[in-house]
Amino acid sequence: MTVAAFGVRGERLAPHTSLRIGGPADYFVRVATERDLVDAIQVAREHELPVFILGGGTNVLVADAGIRGVVLRNSWREATPDGTTVMASSGTELAHVAATAAKAGIEGLEWMATVPGTVGGAVHGNAGAFGSETADALVEAELMDLNGDTWTAGVEELGYAYRTSALQGTPIVCVRARFRGTAGDRAKAVQRIKEMANERMQKQPLAQPNTGSIFRNPPGDHAGRLIEAAGLKGRTIGGAMVSPKHANFIVNVGDAAASDVRALMTVCQDEVQKQFGVTLVPEVELVGEW
Ligand SMILES: Cc1cc2nc3c(=O)[nH]c(=O)nc-3n(C[C@H](O)[C@H](O)[C@H](O)COP(=O)(O)OP(=O)(O)OC[C@H]3O[C@@H](n4cnc5c(N)ncnc54)[C@H](O)[C@@H]3O)c2cc1C
């Protein structure tokens, strides 16, 4: 396979992110199978191109200048129940894992239905909701380095803490992951998913492009409460606005540039620091060429 055969050149990444923001990838390739994923990484290596794995694009702020090298959009979707576990490929939406579990009468993974994005993104960032997180449900993950070598890591090897893992800041790719629930009742699990989804709809500005929580919650407090108390709800820079519905969401209300969102994040961090002495740490990952 050659680089030319291997992807779209200069594909704008905005349509591939939940914020609808982001400049071009030098090369963009959608992978839909394990073979695609392995081959694409191999071709990138042969051409000495950096690789960025994009899952659902729901936790990234992609620079206006885009991402150099190869962006692999992971659409490889497979989820199989096995006893009280579900084995899922890294491109599977977390919601599909929740649905697969519920259908098989596995309880405890319902929260996954409310977190957008893929298994790979969740394993990378320890995504969580409703008091549960990936680290609680993950049994093991199959990982791959950019040489194509694979190994299986147990959850205890992945350095999980609140929205962080040992994978962050490394080029290690999650290939697939196994999650564990408990033997339960299909109807109950389905009902719980509906309740959680409804609760989300009421609290979050889901109708406007966003990237979920912009900042991590500081210990013992909520980033949204602090940003609201700092008087920043509704504050706008360019097309980016602090959501009037939930202050820890920045929404794209027009043609927001990545630089607008970044500038608004800085305003939130500066004001919260000045008024309350609290440092807000981004949850969203700033990626690409800033
Ligand atoms: C409306 C909304 C609500 C949200 N609510 C929550 C919530 O309740 N809880 C929560 O934790 N998050 C939440 N998020 C954020 C987001 O859904 C999670 O962070 C999610 O896990 C990101 O997954 P993704 O596939 O979209 O990752 P992406 O945004 O595509 O990527 C994020 C990072 O993961 C890496 N990555 C992706 N796939 C792989 C892989 N296969 N191997 C290695 N690295 C990989 C990327 O390279 C990147 O560094 C929300 C987002 C939105 C838009």
Token code pair at residue 31:
């992978």
The response to whether residue 96 sits with its C-beta less than 6 Å from ligand 1 reads no
User: Is 130 in a helix, a strand, or coil?
Assistant: coil
In the chain, where the domains are located? 4-74, 79-203, 223-287
- Tell me the CATH number for domain 4-74: 3.30.43.10
Q: Whose C-alpha lies nearest to ligand 1, atom 35?
A: 121
User: Is 143 in a helix, a strand, or coil?
Assistant: strand
Residue 5: the pLDDT is 58
- Tell me the CATH number for domain 79-203: 3.30.465.10
Contacting residues for 238 by C-beta, under 8 A, at least 6 apart: 254, 255, 256, 257, 259, 260, 263
The response to whether residue 67 sits with its C-beta less than 6 Å from ligand 1 reads no
Contacting residues for 247 by C-beta, under 8 A, at least 6 apart: 223, 224, 225, 227, 228, 232, 233
User: Which residues are designated catalytic?
Assistant: 163, 213, 283
| Ligand 1 midpoint to CA 51 (Å) | 17
β-pair partners for 273? none
Q: Whose C-alpha lies nearest to ligand 1, atom 14?
A: 212
Q: Whose C-alpha lies nearest to ligand 1, atom 51?
A: 212
Question: Which residue do the tokens 């500005």 mark?
Answer: 205
The response to whether residue 24 sits with its C-beta less than 6 Å from ligand 1 reads no
Residue 125: the pLDDT is 97
Residue 204: the pLDDT is 86
Half-sphere exposure of 64 (CA within 13 A, CB side): 9
Ligand 1 atom nearest to 118, measured from its CA: 25
Question: Given 3.40.50.11900, 1.10.3720.10, 3.40.980.10, 3.90.78.10, which CATH number is that of 223-287?
Answer: 3.90.78.10
Residue 12: the pLDDT is 97
The response to whether residue 210 sits with its C-beta less than 6 Å from ligand 1 reads yes
Residue 3: the pLDDT is 56
| Ligand 1 midpoint to CA 114 (Å) | 12
Per-residue pLDDT of the chain in tens (290 residues, 90 and over written 9)? 555 556 789 999 999 999 999 999 999 999 999 999 999 999 999 999 999 999 999 999 999 999 999 999 999 999 999 999 999 999 999 999 999 999 999 999 999 999 999 999 999 999 999 999 999 999 999 999 999 999 999 999 999 999 999 999 999 999 999 999 999 999 999 999 999 999 988 888 889 999 999 999 999 999 999 999 999 999 999 999 999 999 999 999 999 999 999 999 999 999 999 999 999 999 999 999 99
Smallest CA-to-CA distance from 55 within 140, 101, 138, 124 is with 124
Token code pair at residue 290:
């800033």
Residues in the chain: 290
The response to whether residue 128 sits with its C-beta less than 6 Å from ligand 1 reads yes
Token code pair at residue 264:
């608004």
Please give the model's pTM, rounded to 2 decimal places: 0.96
Residue 2: the pLDDT is 57
CA dihedral sign of residues 44, 38, 22, 121: negative
Residue 79: the pLDDT is 98
Integer Rg of the chain from CA: 19
User: Is 109 in a helix, a strand, or coil?
Assistant: coil
Other Cβ atoms less than 10 A from the Cβ of 282: the count is: 16
The response to whether residue 53 sits with its C-beta less than 6 Å from ligand 1 reads yes
